[in-house]
A and B are shown apart, each in its own frame.
Chain A
Amino acid sequence: MPPKEQSAPGALTPLSPAVFHILLSLGEGERHGYALKREIALRTAGKLNLGPGVLYGSINKMLELGLIQESHDRPDPHLDDERRRYYRITPYGRKVAQAEAARMRELAQLAAARFGVPKHA
């Protein structure tokens, strides 16, 4: 499906946790769906365990918005199951992730000023 006309990165924020985590993982390199799911579960200590429907629903939406795209490059062919689909972040996706990070930082700073930040939450 062709990506929609892109709006300003800030217009898409706040992102849903699933979308932001997918962008975070893809920021490091290309991933397939199942790898994304495992990585997110690991990063959030199992708090965000995406089911297949929600995962691919989010991917579908992100492809439509132009945040990510399907990648046709394959890593080492021996390691790869060629039937899997790989995704990579687009430059626009990076900008949106940055905008979200900036939004979160502002929020975190505001919270720190109001309540103070303990070393371990």
Chain B
Amino acid sequence: MPDMPLSLRLYRRLLQLYPAGFRENYAEPLERAFRDELNQSAGAAALCMLWIRLIADLARSLPQQFAREVAQDARHTFRLWMRRPWHTGFAILAVAIGIGANTGVFSVVNALLLRSLPFHDPERLAYLRWFFEPHDSAKQFHEWRRQSTYLGDAAIFEQFDANLGGTGDWRRAHVVQASANFFSVLGTQPVLGRGFAPGDDVDGTGWGPLGRNAVAVISYGLWQELFAGDPKALGSTIRLDGNPLTIVGVAPPGFDYPGKSVLWKPAAFSPGNYGWETIARLKPGVTWAQARAAFATEADRFWPNRTTLQRIQYPSTITELRDELAGPARKGSLVLMASVILILLIACTNVANLLLARTTDRATELSIRSALGASRARISQQLLTECVLLSLAACTAGLFIALWTRSIAAAFQPAALASQAYSILDGRVLSFAIAASVLSGLLFGVLPSLYAGRVHTFGTRALSDTRGSRLVRETLVAAQVMLTIILVAASISVGRAFLDLMHVDRGFERTGLITVNVSLEGTTHSDGGRRLAYFQEALAHIRRLPGVRSASATEFLPLYAKAFIGGRFQMDGRNASENSMIVPVLPDYFRTMGGRILAGREFTDADVQSGAQVAVVNERFAGEFGPPADAVGRETAEGNDRPLRIIGVVRGTDYMTDGAQSNQIFVPSHSPGGFFSTFVARVNGRAQDHLAMIRDTIRSVDPQVPVFGVKTMEQRMSDALAQPQFYRTAVFCFTAIALLLVIIGIYGIVSYNVARRSHEMGVRMALGTTPGQLRLSLVRSGLIPIAAGTIPGIAGAILSGRLLENLVDGARPVSAVAYVAAVLGMAVIAAVGIWVAARPIAQLDVMEILRTE
């Protein structure tokens, strides 16, 4: 209408803001009233006043009308729910599971990836990997960091376990030595005392000269535990591996970076120490892209002549500290997040299907309302309100489920993020839950409200179950089948990766094996010559215990040692293709571990006592130089060191949890008792029953020596594999939930169809079709949407399989056989569901049906 005044057009737009019911009844009189007023308002001032009044009027009446209509719709919805409590209960439960699983996993993802770290301005903190800045002396390091063009500041630290004492019992603790600016780079202030002062870090080997760096900042927890929170702790002395340190500060609560550190001391720089890790804060104004470019150049400068292979194996990277901390948990969490989103989608399609079926059922009611003047918009608004209310109810229930999923997930948090509690009441988590519920409400509300539009268009014609609505419902079933196949394939793939992990040949027998750690650092046995005597005495005691078959000790226990020493060994003047780790062990080690000696023999007491230059090598190393058994009697050496005579060849031992093998050279341990020193004992019967006895025996040798890590090998395995096992269990649970939802969905649709078509069925039975034949035909037609869902399902599963390969270690795409099995399995489950749901056909009373005709 070109001659319509602008004001009127504007007012019409504003009228659209009113809820549907009010708009339908009063749009026309409202517009008329506006015209009347408009006609009487001559001049710009009057028009201006009119608009001010109108806007005030809108502001008053809009909320009132909305509250009225929503209250009306809500009352109507509750009446409907009460009428069909099972139906409603299932719909709420389905969405609650979806939202609950989502929110729980999101709270973990939130903590790992999204939430801030307990540091100042954490987005600018970086972790530098495979980067060798100058750190031979304090002066060298501080000069380098001060002249950096892209880093505002940088700190280095070294973390290790040490014996902590001086205020009570000796204990093993995770501690850090760091450059003096460590706390200022992180932006963390001690709650008591001071951090490190410039110049606190000094040059020196080991602990360095006892001077400026003989100070320590302790964690809040340690302060509470040792000093009961007494400020007098400042100035006290604490001993680390026997060296006295003066406490100068207490870290804030929750601060335990890196790892679960309880003590930080200033660094002692020494040439050739490559145990340092580097963190940095970007210079103000420098972007991450610029920092990465500058870093790459510098990394090359500090590590020149790197081979291509080295570049691939040890890539220098600068990453956000948060990504570094989240580590492998990050990828795993993303996999979990993807699976729970699939569940939410399945739950939504399921509920959409249920609601659609019910809306079709309510066609009579809706047609009557439509005939009484309710518009399409009004009915859609009613249906949408129903859905949003349903999802809000589900959201509340979902939060309880989230509490549970979160507590499970929290149990498996990586140690690096231990200080980050997973809070369900975190604003971001809550808004995620609410957004998920409202979005899913809209998602499954769209279809019923579209259908309402059809009711309005066709009036009571929609009473008949049209081809179109059946098609929509079957498409929804197909979509569910598709999503479920993706999940099933993913869970098979992840589950198999885990099984591979469990069944990998580790080169030792894990049952009936007890492991106990000790550390001689800082004790009266720490002198070179006395170390071996301590171990021999303890082993003699252990071997005398009833039930102990054999006992030994090693400096590097599989799955426990996180770092190892080694180098490029050679044989017959030829270098091995990769570095070999050196594992010092005591006599009887292989017998105790259940390792397999392929050729030769293992070490004897004489080898250890005499300091013989002998070695036992693993099959992989020996295999590089010919048939493994032929290695016995030959010599191997690292660089120009004295050669070692090979006396035996063994199956390799798996040191990491990923089943990776490495070159291993075992040597007699002449000076045991270092960082990862561990007693091992093979016992008869249940290993757990012998734990306390062996621990007490070792303690009795010298109560001053800290005894820790008293565990069976099986416990160590399950600790090491806790994370993959958690992911496997979670993905399995999610798949089970998805399958359950699909079965319930299919069951619901079929029983609905049977109920709707009872008349037709009755007629067909009267014409001679048996109930069995009818049920079979239902199974056939019910399987069509399932077949339709399998094709995109398999396509999606292949894609997600590729993604999983990158995200989960050891995950391989599922084979064609597995797909066929999964699809057939689903078809069988669905067919049984349909058969059971079609049971009422057998009870149909043909005469009754024909009589109503």
Cβ of B818 under 8 Å from chain A: no
B53 and chain A: residue at smallest CB distance = A51
20 residue pairs bridging A and B, Cβ less than 8 Å apart: A33-B29, A33-B32, A34-B32, A34-B33, A34-B36, A51-B54, A51-B56, A51-B57, A51-B60, A52-B33, A52-B37, A52-B54, A53-B58, A53-B62, A56-B26, A57-B22, A57-B61, A57-B64, A60-B25, A84-B29
Chain A interfacial positions (CB closer than 8 Å to B): 32-34, 37, 49, 51-57, 59-61, 83-85
Q: Are B22 and A37 closer than 8 Å at their CB atoms?
A: no
Q: Are A53 and B57 closer than 8 Å at their CB atoms?
A: yes
Q: Are B61 and A49 closer than 8 Å at their CB atoms?
A: no
Given A51-B60, A57-B65, 20 extra CB contacts under 8 A = A33-B29, A33-B32, A34-B32, A37-B33, A51-B53, A52-B33, A52-B34, A53-B18, A53-B57, A53-B58, A53-B65, A54-B57, A54-B61, A55-B33, A56-B26, A60-B25, A60-B65, A61-B68, A83-B32, A85-B29
Q: Which of B30, B36, B62, B68 contacts A56 (CB 8 A)?
A: B30
Chain B interfacial positions (CB closer than 8 Å to A): 18, 22, 25-26, 28-30, 32-34, 36-37, 53-54, 56-58, 60-62, 64-65, 68
Chain B proximity of A3: nearest CB distance (Å): 14
Chain A proximity of B372: nearest CB distance (Å): 9
Q: Are A52 and B60 closer than 8 Å at their CB atoms?
A: no
CA distance A55 to B53 in the complex (A): 13
With a cutoff of 8 Å between Cβ atoms, the chain A residues found around residue B57 in the complex are 51-54
CA distance A88 to B226 in the complex (A): 85
Q: Are B60 and A60 closer than 8 Å at their CB atoms?
A: no
Q: Which of B25, B29, B61, B68 contacts A51 (CB 8 A)?
A: B61
A contact face: mostly helix, strand, loop, or mixed: helix
Chain A proximity of B810: nearest CB distance (Å): 65
With a cutoff of 8 Å between Cβ atoms, the chain A residues found around residue B54 in the complex are 51-52
With a cutoff of 8 Å between Cβ atoms, the chain A residues found around residue B34 in the complex are 52
B28 and chain A: residue at smallest CB distance = A83
With a cutoff of 8 Å between Cβ atoms, the chain A residues found around residue B32 in the complex are 33-34, 83-84
With a cutoff of 8 Å between Cβ atoms, the chain A residues found around residue B53 in the complex are 49, 51
A56 and chain B: residue at smallest CB distance = B26
CA distance A60 to B34 in the complex (A): 18
B62 and chain A: residue at smallest CB distance = A53
Chain A proximity of B47: nearest CB distance (Å): 15
Q: Are B29 and A60 closer than 8 Å at their CB atoms?
A: no
With a cutoff of 8 Å between Cβ atoms, the chain B residues found around residue A84 in the complex are 29, 32
Q: Are B30 and A53 closer than 8 Å at their CB atoms?
A: yes
Chain B proximity of A40: nearest CB distance (Å): 13
With a cutoff of 8 Å between Cβ atoms, the chain B residues found around residue A53 in the complex are 18, 30, 57-58, 60-62, 65
CA distance A59 to B30 in the complex (A): 12
Chain B proximity of A44: nearest CB distance (Å): 15
CA distance A5 to B388 in the complex (A): 29
With a cutoff of 8 Å between Cβ atoms, the chain B residues found around residue A54 in the complex are 57, 60-61
Enumerate the 3 nearest inter-chain pairs by beta-carbon distance, A residue then B residue, closest first: A51-B57, A53-B61, A52-B33
Chain A proximity of B23: nearest CB distance (Å): 11
CA distance A83 to B33 in the complex (A): 12
CA distance A32 to B26 in the complex (A): 13
B36 and chain A: residue at smallest CB distance = A34
CA distance A32 to B37 in the complex (A): 15
Chain A proximity of B271: nearest CB distance (Å): 83
With a cutoff of 8 Å between Cβ atoms, the chain B residues found around residue A34 in the complex are 32-33, 36
Chain A proximity of B828: nearest CB distance (Å): 52
With a cutoff of 8 Å between Cβ atoms, the chain B residues found around residue A51 in the complex are 53-54, 56-58, 60-61
Chain A proximity of B728: nearest CB distance (Å): 57
B29 and chain A: residue at smallest CB distance = A33
With a cutoff of 8 Å between Cβ atoms, the chain B residues found around residue A55 in the complex are 33
CA distance A52 to B57 in the complex (A): 7
Q: Are A60 and B22 closer than 8 Å at their CB atoms?
A: yes
CA distance A84 to B31 in the complex (A): 11
CA distance A59 to B25 in the complex (A): 11
With a cutoff of 8 Å between Cβ atoms, the chain A residues found around residue B62 in the complex are 53
Chain B proximity of A29: nearest CB distance (Å): 19
B373 and chain A: residue at smallest CB distance = A1
With a cutoff of 8 Å between Cβ atoms, the chain A residues found around residue B29 in the complex are 32-33, 52, 56, 84-85
CA distance A84 to B28 in the complex (A): 9
Chain A proximity of B513: nearest CB distance (Å): 79
